[in-house]
Amino acid sequence: MKKNNSLEEIAAALCAAHTVLLFPHVSVDGDALGSSVALCAALRKAGKTAHVVIEEELPDMVSFLDRGYCTEDPALPARPDVCVCVDCNEYRRFPKRKALFGSGALAMCIDHHKTSAPLLDLNHIDEGAAATAEIIYDLIPLLGVGIDAEIGGALYVGIVTDTGRFQYSNTTRKTHLIAAELHTIGVRTSEISILLYQNERMEKRLLESRILGEAERFANGRAVISCITQKMLKETGGRLDETDGVAEALRDIRGVELACLLKEKSARTIKVSLRSKRDFDAAAFSAENGGGGHARAAGFTVTNRSVADVKALLMRQLAERLS
């Protein structure tokens, strides 16, 4: 296991580089992209050639962050001085960019996820940080660059999304102090909230209403189950990748301890998402079914069964567990 490097060591390596490529994880979220964009903008301000390398279309919700920072072009530039893993610490989090990441003279990781062994040349992993954006916030001044409103806006996106709008238990005093500082710098926090949270596609809302309409309570109201079928997607124009948050909406119902959302990914391949409130160990139940996750948010996939079959089976099993 390699040691965790100080932010000063990370900054020194970045200052010595001419070309830096930043690699957020796949299924990029607000923190991975916000942190990458903020660091990329800061490195460019410091006179470096820097790019955020991606391998997929950016999700609607965070695409506004990309003001010429992101590229999918794997040909550029040939031998970067530093490649940075941002908000993740493993190659498998960006399968299609692995070769490009490996072509860097120095491999670096900046992250806040739990890991047993930092594996790259330089690593800064702070599990206490609510978001990688908090780490980037501390790093940028060490590059000799000021945080302007554009950089600050990207950092704010990372913080507000990874803390569930300052609601999750990872939110600390420092999180709020950074947010306050970003506000002072001129980050338009309410405008960012509108772009992130008040910018939904109508089709997404229609799909959500169908999912809520299908919801069924069981186990004396302690559990709720619903589904998303391919038919519902076709009829509403909604997409499976924009149903994040629906399982949570089901969990938020009064009296519900466990919410269960079935997603028909293709005929007879059903992804099951579980969200619990206090006691139900969703990770353990998911592990029994070949999946995994956290105690309050976990999931697994069932193949060769219909949505109706999986639903009936789960209602039976879960009612027993919750009784």
Q: Are 55 and 72 in contact (CB under 8 A)?
A: yes
3-state secondary structure (DSSP) of residue 23 = strand
Question: For Mn ion, which residue has the nearest CB?
Answer: 31
Sign of CA dihedral 130, 132, 137, 139: positive
Residue reference for tokens 């956290």: 294
Residue from 28, 21, 82 nearest 55 by CA: 28
Residue window 153-172: x/- pattern of binding to Mn ion, with contact defined by CB under 5 A: ---------x----------
Residue from 48, 128, 52, 38 nearest 84 by CA: 52
Task: Provide, rounded to whole angstroms, the least separation between the CB of residue 317 and Mn ion.
Answer: 33
Task: Provide, rounded to whole angstroms, the least separation between the CB of residue 75 and Mn ion.
Answer: 29
Residue window 76-115: x/- pattern of binding to Mn ion, with contact defined by CB under 5 A: -----------x----------------------------
Residue 242 found at the interface with Mn ion (CB under 5 A): no
Task: Find the farthest-apart pair of alpha carbons in the chain and give their distance in angstroms, rounded.
Answer: 63
Residue from 9, 104, 116 nearest 51 by CA: 104
Residue window 23-42: x/- pattern of binding to Mn ion, with contact defined by CB under 5 A: --------x-----------
Q: Are 108 and 82 in contact (CB under 8 A)?
A: yes
- Closer residue to Mn ion, CB minimum distance, 123 or 132: 132
Task: Provide, rounded to whole angstroms, the least separation between the CB of residue 127 and Mn ion.
Answer: 11
- Which residues in 119-138 contact Mn ion (CB under 5 A)? 132
Residue window 200-229: x/- pattern of binding to Mn ion, with contact defined by CB under 5 A: ------------------------------
Residue 248 phi, psi (nearest 5): -65, -40
Residues contributing to the site for Mn ion (CB under 5 A): 31, 87, 132, 162
